[in-house]
Chains A and B, each alone.
Chain A
């Protein structure tokens, strides 16, 4: 125990994977960018309700895998994905499945805050509007308010919903992006290094928010910061050179890794 430099900071009692229903299953997932084999034979089960963290050095394929889950890699022309990914048992590569519906079920928050250059209200209302989630203006208002509330932004922006979203601070912008993602009531939220562009205080706020959101959503977060993974996640997967080296409970990964590469990484010997 003492050999590991990082202490996990679990606030809640960790939920063992076995007791939770499985949300996302991946079997033998390979990703190629042209000739480059970027992700090799990844197999993992991701539980519903809770935070799963992907860690690993740069270029190890963790973001690539994350983008497979809502098929964002489809937008890259040279990218090819093989293998089987299921959400609630449904194959996401099923030709009958509408990728737009999939992305509504699997929301995404990006590395750099990227609010639309529109008002705060419009940023959140856009998703519900294109999916027809609101019957009336008041419905839409309510969705926007609850989403901002859940993202912990409502108090700060209540009286300036008409202001441009790009005028907010970096941390606020990222929370606005989270509000935008949860406005379409997704089941899974993918976060691709959501705090890498933020200062420590904004980071702390986002982490707090993730902690609250995991009650209702399945959250998958890619992070460079092992401390962050330790703080917010219940399960962690370590990626290295396109392989998923090890996956398990966060406490176990950080205190008692089974694989030597994991140990070397978390003790800071490479990466």
Chain B
């Protein structure tokens, strides 16, 4: 008896553990997807006063929308950027400044000008979209920045280009020590690496070992001369000096003197008093991040000026795909999915329900109907890619329907879902108590009337549920759609059933493959949208069930 109780409680414990594991996995999945995907729903842009030059579009062409659309907006945005961060002279720095903007930065401005051509020639306050890397920088993919006031009086040698700054105190000694320490670690690393190679292969790689040893020895020499100045490279955290309203990136550092490149021009080369200038450190080495020191300097300056704006990423929901992460939207895939599912539903529901009614209520019981039944059950288990091949062979090659079209996608998915719906509908019809049908027949209803007036309405909730489950299955299906060409990169939002389109899961698959870091967030964001779409469908199913459910 006690053994029986023990086995019962053990069994319960197994069940609980299984449930807990499932719940934990689900929670991890959802939290992970949300954490990755939510940033995709927000997008940074900078709101600038954009001076729209009068010659952007010639006066007589301004009535023409196409002319406004076709105009070159690069000089306009460039002027706006130069106005907000003035004094950048080097071409490389100017290029980096413009790289902060997305290639579609002027899209919003362009639409405003199209709507109101009278703005041409005036200064317009407009948000300019930031590029993906700049956007990620503001989302926290940048570098920790530390600044400490300096003790000495600094004398910069100039305001732009390469400058040297002399300090009256040994302000940079700490930095020098830190750098020497880093160098020592690097030398030790190299030594260990050389040893490893040596141990693994006695004969080969001696040249490489020698090279490493030499490099380590050179570093060691630098470490052992504590007073000698050091050149900084991209593998170390960057040191900068903020002085007189400008920013200088240190390239060579001594105890009380640095040499560096001006990232943001200095206001003057006047002496800076102790405490009025700062030594800045970007903790992440430049080689370890997407944005250069120059770009960080620009972005921080933009942030100081208060022009950076974080807004809901409407573009994500209103545009199609793009190669630029900040321009890519999901609307194309969303519409593609909706159109495809519409075709699937329009085919599946009537055909599936009619087939189920015929098989359940009218079909004679013989070998043929048995065979059909077995085949329907088998079809439900056929791998979906097979349906894709079938669609490719029949719909595309034989019937010559357009490739990548929601129409064909819908047809293929209909084949896939039909068995599910037939099986669910038959089960629902079977679940209606026969007494209801008998009652209808008893008052003189024909067989058909009994089914359509009484049995079918009662089976409807079950049929709906089955259909929605089938639809959800179709929504998540990728493999068969790859076969019929819905995997293409399609920028335009499809306008009809024959337009090239892609669907949500395929879009996720495409994005997950791309190298840009910002597409990671887009992928997760698309997964969230797909899940919400699914929840929406299931919610509808539950609502329909509640609505049509009748007790008997």
Residues of A within 8 A of B (CB): 70, 72, 75, 77, 100-104, 107-110, 112, 114-118, 126-127, 130-131, 164, 166, 177, 180-181, 183-184
**Are A110 and B444 also in contact (CB < 8 A) when A116-B454, A117-B551, A166-B551 are?**
no
Q: How far is the CA of A183 from the CA of B550 in the complex (A)?
A: 24
Do B552 and A131 touch across chains, with their CB atoms under 8 A apart?
no
How many whole Å from A66's CB to the nearest CB in chain B? 12
Query: Closest CB-CB distance, A184 to chain B, in whole Å?
Result: 6
Q: Do A184 and B441 contact each other (CB < 8 Å), given the known contacts A114-B435, A117-B550?
A: no
For the complex, give the distance between the alpha carbons of A243 and B373 in Å: 40
Instruction: Please indicate which of the listed interface residues B437, B440, B444 has the most CB atoms of chain A within 10 Å of its own CB.
Output: B444
CB distance from B248 to the nearest CB of A (A): 83
How far apart sit A181 and B444, CA to CA, in the bound complex (Å)? Answer: 9
What are 17 pairs between A and B in contact, CB < 8 Å? A75-B438, A77-B364, A100-B444, A100-B445, A103-B442, A104-B443, A108-B442, A109-B442, A110-B435, A110-B439, A116-B454, A117-B552, A126-B445, A130-B444, A130-B449, A164-B550, A184-B444
Given contacts A116-B436, A177-B439, contact A104 B552 (CB under 8 A): no
Q: Which residues of B contact A110 (CB under 8 A)?
A: 435, 438-439, 442
Contact B443 A126 (CB under 8 A): yes
Measured CB to CB, the nearest residue on chain A to B445 is: A130
- Check A70 against B454 for contact (C-beta < 8 Å): no
- The 0/1 profile, CB within 8 Å of A marked 1, for residues 425-436 of chain B is 000000001011
B421 to chain A, nearest CB (A): 24
Taking a contact as CB atoms closer than 8 A, the residue among B364, B433, B453, B552 that contacts A126 in the complex is B453
Q: Is the CB of B443 within 8 A of A103?
A: yes
Nearest residue (CB) in B for A131 is B444
- A100, A112, A117, A164: most-surrounded residue (chain B CB, <10 A): A117
- Looking at A103, A112, A181, the one whose CB has the most chain B CB atoms below 10 A away is A103
Nearest A-chain residue to B443, judged by Cβ: A127
Within 436-491 of B, Cβ neighbours of A (below 8 Å) are at 436-447, 449, 453-454, 458
Give the residues in chain A near B365, CB-CB below 8 Å.
77
Residues of A near B445 (CB, < 8 A) are: 100, 126-127, 130
Q: Is the CB of A181 within 8 A of B436?
A: no
Q: Which residue of A lies closest to B454 (CB)?
A: A116
A77-B365, A116-B436, A126-B453 as given contacts; A107 in contact with B550, CB under 8 Å: no
Residue A181 contacts which of B442, B447, B550, B551 (CB distance < 8 angstroms)? B442
Can you name the residue of chain A whose Cβ is closest to the Cβ of B446? A100
Contact of B439 among A116, A130, A183 (CB under 8 A): A116
Q: Would you give the shortest CB distance from A178 to chain B, in whole angstroms? A: 11
Instruction: Name B121-155 residues within 8 Å CB distance of A.
Output: none
A104 — which chain B residues lie within 8 A by C-beta? 443-444
Q: Which of A70, A101, A112, A166 contacts B442 (CB 8 A)?
A: A70
Given A100-B446, A114-B435, A116-B454: A72 touches B552 (CB 8 Å cut-off): no
**Complex interface: chain A residues within 8 A of B447 (CB):** 75
Residues of B within 8 A of A130 (CB): 443-445, 449, 453
Contacts of B435 in A (CB 8 A): 110, 112, 114
Nearest chain B CB to A175 CB, angstrom units: 14
Ranked 6 nearest A-B pairs via Cβ: A104-B444, A127-B443, A108-B442, A114-B435, A117-B550, A103-B444
The residues of B that contact A177 with a CB separation of less than 8 Å are: 439
CA distance A181 to B443 in the complex (A): 6
Docked CA distance A91–B477 (Å): 59
Q: Given A72-B438, A114-B436, A126-B453: A107 and B443 within 8 A (CB)?
A: yes
How many angstroms from the CA of A117 to the CA of B549 in the assembled complex?
10
Contact partners of A103 in chain B: CB under 8 A = 441-444
Contacts of A131 in B (CB 8 A): 444
B552 touches A184 (CB 8 A): no
Q: How far is the CA of A109 from the CA of B438 in the complex (A)?
A: 10
Q: How far does the alpha carbon of A117 sit from the alpha carbon of B550 in the complex, in Å?
A: 6
Are B442 and A107 neighbours in the complex by a CB distance under 8 Å?
yes
